[in-house]
Chain A
C-alpha cells in the first residue's frame, strides 16, 4: 500500500499540533500500521520530546536534505511500537534549510515503505507551513474553541484551498464541557458552522495530556483517558471507519452517542 501523507497544521501556535501528531502516530501504529512522523518545525523541534524519543536522535531532517545521511539513518524507531518511526527536525537550523520540493522528495521515497506519513507543522503561514503542506494528501487543521484559534484556522484553510490541496479536515482540541455548559465556550457545532469544513475529531481538554507529555508517553497509550480515546477515534476515521463523535450530555460530561464505544475503542 502506498502511504498517505497527513499534514497537521493550524496557523496559531500552541493549539495542539504536536500533541495531535504524536498521538495519531501512536494510535495508527497501535492499529498495526507502519507509521513515520516527521517534525516539520525546524529550529523548534518538539515532536521528539512529546514522543519520548529525544535521547535517540543522531541525524535529522536537514541531514537527510543535505545528504549527510540516508533517509533510513534519520528514522528513529520507537521501542514501544514496532512500526513507529520519527524523523526529527534540526534544532540549530532555520526553516529555509528545507524546501517544499525536498519534502515532496522525502515523502515520495517513504511512500512505498510505510502506510502513513504524518507531518507536524510549525506555527505561521510562512516557509515552514509551505514545506509541510507541499507533500500532503490530507490536511488536518487543529484549532481550539477560541476566537483567535478559529480565526487563524480559517486563514489556513483559505490558504490550503487556494493551493488546491486537500481534503482539509478539522480537529477541535481542548474542548471543555463545563465551560460549554455555562455558555462560555464555543461548541464544536459552532466551530464547524463558522469554518465550514468536515470535522474529523473532537479532543477534550484533559490533564492527562500534560501528564503524559511530561513522561514522553503520548496519551493515546492510555486506553482509559478521554483525550487518548479521542485520538484513537481520529485514527480510525483516517483509515475509513465510521466512528460517532463524542457528545455532550446534559450533565456537561462527554458521552458517546453509541453506548460502549469507549470500551470497544480501548481494546
Chain B
C-alpha cells in the first residue's frame, strides 16, 4: 500500500486500490478498523483450540463477482498438535 508520501505509483493504480477498499467497506458495512478487530477476535478464538503459526496468517476480504468473501489462511503448528494427540 502506498503511504501518504509521494510515490511513483501511477494515479490510476492508486484509484483502483483505494476503490477496492472503499467498496469492501460500502458493501459489508465494515470499516478497515472493524475488519482488523474482527481478524484479531477470530484468531483469538481459534487459538483457544489449536496453536496457530502467527507469521503465516492471512485473512483477506476478496471480491468474487458482486459478492464479498472473507478468506482465512491460518497455518497450524502441527508438531505441537502431534505432541498433544
A interface vs B, CB < 8 Å? Answer: 146-147, 150-151, 154-155, 157-158, 161, 180, 182-187, 190, 194, 196-197
Contacts and interface: CB of A to CB of B under 8 A. Distances in A.
Interface string B1-15: 000000000111101
A186 B20 CA distance: 12
A180 B12 contact: yes
B85 to A, nearest CB: 44
A154 B12 contact: no
A194 B13 contact: no
Contacts of B27: 154, 158
A165 to B, nearest CB: 14
Given A151-B19, A154-B27, A158-B27, A184 B12 contact: yes
A248 to B, nearest CB: 13
Contacts of B49: none
Given A180-B12, A183-B10, A190-B12, A150 B66 contact: no
A190 B16 contact: yes
Tell me whether chain A's interface is mostly helix, strand or loop, or mixed: helix
B12 A151 contact: no
B12 A183 contact: yes
Contacts of B19: 147, 150-151, 186, 194
A184 B66 contact: no
Given A147-B19, A157-B66, 10 more contacts: A146-B15, A151-B22, A158-B27, A158-B66, A183-B11, A184-B11, A187-B12, A194-B16, A194-B23, A196-B63
B56 interface: no
Contact of A186 (B16, B22, B23, B63): B16
Contact of A185 (B12, B22, B26): B12
A251 B12 CA distance: 18
Which of A161, A187, A194, A197 has the most chain B CB within a 10 Å cutoff?
A194
A184 B11 CA distance: 5
A157 B63 CA distance: 15
